[in-house]
Amino acid sequence: MSVLEPASTRTVADIDGLDLEHALTGLHELLVMSLTMLQRHDVDGVIDVLARRVESATGCTLVHVDFQRHQEWTTLLPGEPTRPAEPIPPTGERVFVQDHGDSWTSTTSVTVANGVPGQLVLRSSTRPDPEQLFVIERLGDLLGMALADAQVHERHRRRAHELYAANNEMARTVAALQHREAVLQEFARLSTTGTELD
């Protein structure tokens, strides 16, 4: 009886030119990062997770993120231009890589469901390999979802606060109207009976 030997765990799968073993490390970090980002319910929390974990997932450092927040363009991290400084990736190319001599930048779209896509700009000391670019591209998609989710939560909190304030104002108005009605009823009773209540 012969026992089949399991396939080696060191076998490297190659799909579309990607070393999947190398890409899986970045994808694992990306999965952990995206789950953490989706647990944050505010934009600043999402960007904080991105800034702390992007290097472990992509091997690159965060330069900045440009996106629309409350119908206005926002650039996070401070000190960067208010509009994207990097060229927009050409059509058909999801990650635009640019050589700056001493470093490389990778720019990808921050995909959003309804609106103009933003940009995620990362920097590395060497040209990103195809596996890094694959992870960077997915990071743009996941960051867009996390930012959209955080903005929805922010909008709901803002509306809840506005509704709470409106409810309080309405309660004060109702109390004032009830008091006025009680006063008017007392005046009406006084005018018909001519006597005060005890």
Per residue in 136-186, pLDDT (tens digit) is 888 888 888 888 888 888 889 999 999 999 999 999 999 999 999 999 988
Query: Is this prediction's pTM over 0.85?
Result: no
DSSP string, 65-111: EEEEETTEEEEESTTS-SS--SPPPPTT-SEEEEE-SS-EEEEEEE-
Give the Cα separation of 72 and 62 in Å (integer): 21
pLDDT band of residue 79 (cuts 50, 70, 90) is very low
Amino acid sitting at position 138 = R
Predicted confidence at residue 16, as pLDDT, reads 56
10-61 pLDDT, tens digit each: 444 445 555 556 566 677 777 777 787 888 788 888 888 888 888 888 888 8
Question: Residue 19: its pLDDT value, please?
Answer: 59
What distance in Å separates the CA atoms of residue 61 and residue 128, rounded to the nearest whole number?
Answer: 12
Nearest CA-CA partner of 108 in 138, 130, 73: 138
The one-letter amino acid at 133 = L
Domains and CATH numbers, the chain: 14-146 (3.30.450.40)
- Distance between CA atoms of residues 2 and 9, nearest Å: 21
Report pLDDT digits (tens) over 94-119. Answer: 787 888 888 888 888 887 766 677 88
Sheet of 95-99: strand order equals 72-76, 61-69, 118-124, 104-110, 95-99
pLDDT band at 81 (very low <50, low <70, confident <90, very high): very low
pLDDT band at residue 90, thresholds of 50, 70 and 90? low
